[in-house]
Amino acid sequence: MRKLFSFLLIGAMAMGMTACASNAPVKSNEAAATTAEAPAEAPAEAPAEELPLIGVTIYKYDDNFMSFVRQNIEKAAEGKAQLIMNDSQNDQAKQNDQVDAMIAKGVKALAINLVDPGAAPAIAEKAKAAGIPVIFFNKEYPEGTDKVGYDQAWYVGTTSAESGVIQGELITNAWKANANWDKNGDGKMQYVMLMGEPGHPDAEARTKYSVDTVVAAGIQVEELAKQTGMWDAAKGKELMETWLAAHGDKIEMVICNNDGMALGAVEALKAAGYFAGDKFMPVVGVDAIPEALDLIKSKFMAGTVLNDAENQGKATLELAVNAALGKDVIQGTNWVLDETRAVRVPYVAVTE
C-alpha cells in the first residue's frame, strides 16, 4: 500500500511540475508584480485590483528544489492573488530590504523563504509593525514559529527529522537487500555524506537522523568523509571527485542531504567509470526532483525522499491569501496547524 501511495503521489507531483513548467518565471531580481488569469471555472474574471497583493521572497532562485516551490506558488496564485516575487540571492540583508520595499508597496501578506532561519524574529517584527501577516515557508525558525514574537506569523514546511528517518529507512532496506554492496565484506557500511547548508534545520536533521536510523536498524557504519556541499550540484561533484581520489572503492554508500548534490555526485561517479558493467556505487538523496527520478529509473541513484514542492507551494499561497483577507489561515483548506503554528507537509520514500 505504501508503494502504491508513493507511486500515486509521485505521479501527481510529476504532473504538477509539468504544468508548472509552462509558467514563465519572474526574471527580475527586483520586486515585480505578476497577475495570473482566473481559472476557467470562476463565474467571472476578477479585476486585478480586487485580488490581494502578496509579497514573496525565495532565498535564491537557482536552488533546484526552491525553483519548483516558486513555480507552484505562482500556479496556486492564478485567479486568487497578485504576487510580488523576489530573488534574495542567498543574502539576508538583501531580503530584509526586499521586505521593507514590499511593505511600502502595500502588500496584504508576506510569504518569506528565509535566507537565514535565525532572521525570522526580525522579519516578524517588520511585519508586526506594519500590521501585515507573514507566512514563513521551507526554512523554519529553529525555536518554532510560535516563538518569533508575532501572533500573525505561521510556517509551511516539513518536519525536519522525518526526511532523515525516511532516508535512513530507505538506505537500511536497500543495504540489506544488496549484500554485494559491502565490498570489503567487513559487515560495515563505509559512507560519505554530502551535507546541506550549515545551520539549516533540514541539513542538520537529515545528517543526524539518516545515520542514526541505519545504526538503530543494527547496521554498523564507518564515516569516511562528511562535508557541506551547500545544496549545490557543482559542489557535490567537486567533493565526490575529491573523495573518490582519496578513498575510491572503499566508499560503499553516498548519502546526500538533497538531490541537487546527489546529481553532482552521480556525475563524478560516471566520469570515474561507475555504473558501467558491474562497477556501482549507491547514491541516495532528498527532494525527488524530476532529474533525480530519472536517475533512479536509470539505476544511477538508489533512491530519494519526496519533498513535496507542489503542496508546499500550494499551502503557502493558500495560507497567505486567507491571512491577507483576514480569515482563519486554514479556512477552506485541508491543512492542519500544529502547536507551533505550522503546517507540516509529509515526506515519502522513493525507490525504483
pLDDT per residue as tens digits for the range 90-122: 999 999 999 999 999 999 999 999 999 999 999
161-306: which CATH number, 2.40.400.10, 3.40.50.2300, 3.30.70.1400, 3.10.105.10? 3.40.50.2300
Q: Which residue has the higher pLDDT, 306 or 199?
A: 306
- How far CA 251 is from CA of 71, 130, 297, 316, in Å, comes to 37, 53, 23, 40
| pLDDT score recorded for residue 49 | 59
Per-residue cell: 110: 508576506
Angle at 230 between CA 159 and CA 170, to 5 degrees: 45
Closest CA to 290 of 17, 23, 2: 17
77: pLDDT strictly greater than 90: yes
Residue 47's pLDDT is what? 54
pLDDT at 41 over 50: no
- Structural contact between residues 128 and 146, judged by C-beta atoms closer than 8 angstroms: no
CA distance 6 to 8: 6
What's the rounded Cα separation, in Å, for the pair 88 and 131?
A: 23
Residue scoring higher pLDDT (248 or 49) = 248
Q: What is the pTM of this model?
A: 0.78
Residue 306 amino acid letter: L
The CATH 3.40.50.2300 portion of the chain extends over 23-158+309-350, 161-306
What is the structure's pLDDT at 2? 39
Tell me the three state secondary structure of residue 244. Answer: helix
**Least confident window among 5-19, 65-79, 142-156, 203-217:** 5-19
For position 36, what pLDDT does the model report? 34
CATH fold of 23-158+309-350 reads Rossmann fold (3.40.50)
